[in-house]
Amino acid sequence: MKRKTYNNVMKGVSIIEKKGYTFDEASKIALRCFEEAEANKNGLSVEWYLNKIVTKDEWKKMEGEMKK
């Protein structure tokens, strides 16, 4: 996925949804991933950013640990 097109964003959303996020959450995260990839211009693909997203369960666990 090189460009931010509707179909590419929807692919990103489906990847994120598989990690336990809702459609709305996944949409926001996918758009941020595309924006980060465009802004950084460091050669990292959008897929790299999508792979770095943790599952929702892991995120909740980390968030709980930070509040302690």
Report pTM: 0.85
What are the structural domain ranges in the chain? 6-67
Assign 68 a pLDDT band (cuts: 50, 70, 90): low
pLDDT tens string 19-51: 999 999 999 999 999 999 889 878 888 999 999
List helix spans (H) across 1-68: 6-17, 23-40, 46-51, 56-67
How many Å apart are CA 1 and CA 64, to the nearest integer? 33
How many Å apart are CA 34 and CA 21, to the nearest integer? 17
